[in-house]
Amino acid sequence: MLATLGRTRSLADGEPLFHAGEPSGHVFVIDAGTVDIFHPLESEELRIGQAGVGEVLGEVTAVVGGARTATVRANGAVTVREIDNRDFDHWLQAAPDAAIRLAAEARERIDRTRVVQVLADHLGVANAEIITAITEQINWHHLDAGEILFTQGDPADAAYIVVAGRLHISATEPTPIDVEIGRGEIVGELGILEDQPRSATVKASRRTTLAALSRPSFEEITTEHPTLMLQVFRRIVSRVLRPPPPRPVAGSVAVAVITPDADPDFVARLSAEVARHGDTLHLDRKRVDTFLGRRGIADADAASAGQVRVAEFLHEADVIHRYVVLETSRPTDDTGLAAWTNHAVQAADRIVIVTSPHPTGAERRHLEELVAACEARLADDVWLACIHPADTRRPTATGGFRRPAADPPIGRVVHLRAGSHRHETRLARLMTGNGVGVAFSGGGGRAVAEVGAVQAMEELGVPIDRVVGTSMGSIVAGALAMDDDVDQLVAFAMTKLQGIKLVDVTVPVVSILKGSLLADGLERSFGEQRIEDLWLDYSCISADITVSQTHEHRSGRLRDAVRASISLPGVFPPVAHDGHFLVDGGVLENLPISPLVADSGVETIIAIEASPPNGPRPRTPASATAVSGVRALRAQYGKDKKSPYPGVVATLMGSMLVGSSQARAAALATDDVALHLTLELPGLSLLDTDHVPEMIEHGYADAIDQLRAWLTSDAAGALQNS
């Protein structure tokens, strides 16, 4: 019996039983008196509840680990029994029915604590009366993956706080919406304020717990406490001015290893890397059995008492810990997915399936089973990690892993060399939303200097997990992604870009240049290399002049994507692609930041800009409104070799940069970019490809000091754990 365990401990009025953030070593049962429970704020404590005789405290962290989530103080004289965690575990094993009852009670308590955290941290509510009024009137909603919370056009009858899990919000009109929100977010509050039908459809992306506050309850509380209404309005305005990212960070990740190419400690190493970014719990079927004190409970059948306990346990772990890595059962036969694997998939924000690049028939069957179990998920929720032999130079033929749109899709393929610490740490960062993304700008020949900036990043230990390029930057980013090696990148620049000849003049009906030399050069540089088979996650930007918007190339032959991205309008012919014409991405986004902002795997964005800060100026006074090309040509090749006017290509490139300057300024005005590396490159022109070594040296020199200063600042704080 629990009543016989532990030692008695007495507390005076106001004496703390434990503090938030302390490690958990004991469970407490209140024998006499009451205690107050407090949530810590920045400068004070907020009282959020009470517990009295017979109630158990600290049992959640005793079971799932982690630090105390609240501070508890005696309210008057109090007597408790202090029970060692190990003794409490043994009691749970001997009393499974009591364990299930305690789990249900603990779940509601930690869920209410999460609601308090949202109210205090996200809405700024620090009034105990308001918090008590809200928590006393909330109702709990539990949704499975794919289950709809409400549909666009439904009456708005409640607001919801996401306690655990994820919601997908979608709408087609009047404004298209496609976003996900995660734990700690609020949905539906605008509808009950406006008294209008729901403006979007909301469904669960995974198993999700919500705290619901009905419209009548909200109106009653705001009538009594008008400040709540003001705080809700502030949140709405803040969200309008700065919308949330399309996908929240993954807090819970299921890692399903279906290939023997991954050694037994692969997931443990991944978890250790994830732990560098925050409190992390690594769970597999054996650990779940151990935590819950029952052998085989992790594989309990659906609808059984054991299955309910596992679901409660995973929910508690998700709420308590910043990250939870769920290692699924490795397949051993053809009997389908193990129950524990299904538990993990349903409880995870993201599923990473670890396979070989050329899976066997058995691996493909297991892959199909896992993808089918993710049927209700968005593409970005399901990733593949392909483990290649350690001596692999470049991945090959893995593009087929990206499924057709009609099937449950694969959102991303991450390539790893077997045993590569560099690649494993990259996967750990990306899958938990802590990746480092680098944007490579256009800038003509000056963009070659971005190679030097990459050298500086490598020297200072700044990782690169995702790359995006525009125009000439698409070539630099592609070469880096192809080999994932700075020395190879430098060699590429020296051999493929030094003195490159692109001039093949044609009758200027479509463009000045025919583009054959450019196409031949790209073929020699990249061959049949596909974007899907690059070591680094890569994309590049072109401008779709058919529909007047950017186009992001995420798959297909690398040289075809780069050819579109570098197609300077008027100089090179536009590229035909799926019934559209594409030109140089610098027309709309010369510094390609937006794909990185939208990437749920990226936390830190570094933008490298090689474009000149200013365009061409007249070298001598030039006031004519008509210019003779013959005279300009004579001036260019005459005694001074200078013309008061820029050439056609320089004018077109300068005009293109003007066109994308607004997007650049808007992106840099936000907090999205952690570091903007500007390469000054004095004396180097947009059209210079004859001085590649000097450009690389200039790029390195310009970047290294900026990087050093940034790495010692608070702005690089998130990167210190990488």
Q: Would you state the pLDDT for residue 262?
A: 85
CATH tag for 252-432 (out of 3.30.420.10, 1.10.10.10, 3.40.50.300, 2.40.340.10): 3.40.50.300
Query: Which of 39-48, 260-269, 486-495, 592-601 has the least mean pLDDT?
Result: 39-48
Q: Would you state the pLDDT for residue 406?
A: 37
Torsion angle, CA of 573/576/577/581, rounded to 10 degrees? Answer: 70
Give me Rg for the CA atoms of the chain.
29
Contacts of 233 (CB under 8 A, 6+ apart): 193
Q: How many CB atoms lie within 10 A of CB 24?
A: 20
Q: Would you state the pLDDT for residue 388?
A: 94
- Look at residue 278 and tell me whether its pLDDT is greater than 60: yes
Q: Would you state the pLDDT for residue 48?
A: 77
Comma-separated ranges of CATH 3.40.50.300 domains in the chain: 252-432
CB 472 within 8 A of CB 443: yes
CB 45 within 8 A of CB 83: no
pTM: 0.83
Q: Would you state the pLDDT for residue 128?
A: 73
Percent of the chain at pLDDT exceeding 90: 43
Q: Would you state the pLDDT for residue 674?
A: 93
Q: Would you state the pLDDT for residue 266?
A: 96
CB 528 within 8 A of CB 557: yes
- Can you read off the two tokens belonging to residue 210? 């919500």
Looking at residue 342, its amino acid is: N
Instruction: Name the range with the highest mean pLDDT among 290-299, 569-578, 614-623, 676-685.
Output: 569-578
- Look at residue 62 and tell me whether its pLDDT is greater than 70: yes
Q: How many CB atoms lie within 10 A of CB 89?
A: 19
Comma-separated ranges of CATH 2.60.120.10 domains in the chain: 2-105, 137-241
CB 431 within 8 A of CB 601: yes
Cα 487 to chain centroid distance, Å, stands at 29
Q: Would you state the pLDDT for residue 404?
A: 41
Secondary structure of residue 538 in the 3-state scheme:
strand
**Structural fold of domain 435-615+643-716:** Cytosolic phospholipase A2 catalytic domain (3.40.1090)
* Residue 443, Ramachandran bin (φ over 0: left; ψ between -120 and 50: alpha; else beta): left
Secondary structure of residue 104 in the 3-state scheme:
helix
- Look at residue 335 and tell me whether its pLDDT is greater than 90: no
Residue 461 burial class via C-beta count within 10 angstroms: exposed 0-12, middle 13-18, buried 19 and up: exposed
- Look at residue 403 and tell me whether its pLDDT is greater than 80: no
Q: pLDDT tier at 25 (50, 70, 90 boundaries)?
A: confident
- Look at residue 91 and tell me whether its pLDDT is greater than 90: no
Q: Is 137-241 a CATH 2.40.128.690 domain? A: no
Distance CA 357, CA 401 (A): 9
Q: Would you state the pLDDT for residue 405?
A: 43
Sign (positive or negative) of CA dihedral 212, 215, 220, 223:
positive
Distance CA 721, CA 542 (A): 34
Which superfamily does CATH assign the domain made up of 2-105 to? Jelly Rolls (2.60.120.10)
SS3 assignment for 617-654:
CCCCCCCCCCCCHHHHHHHHHCCCCCCCCCCHHHHHHH
SS3 assignment for 395-447:
CCCCHHHCCCCCCCCCCEEEEEECCCHHHHHHHHHHHCCCEEEEEECCCHHHH
Torsion angle, CA of 562/568/569/572, rounded to 10 degrees? Answer: -80
Comma-separated ranges of CATH 3.40.1090.10 domains in the chain: 435-615+643-716
- Look at residue 638 and tell me whether its pLDDT is greater than 70: no
Higher pLDDT, 648 or 158: 158
Query: Using one digit for the tens of pLDDT, what is the confidence trace for 146-168?
Result: 899 999 999 999 989 888 888 98
Cα 574 to chain centroid distance, Å, stands at 33
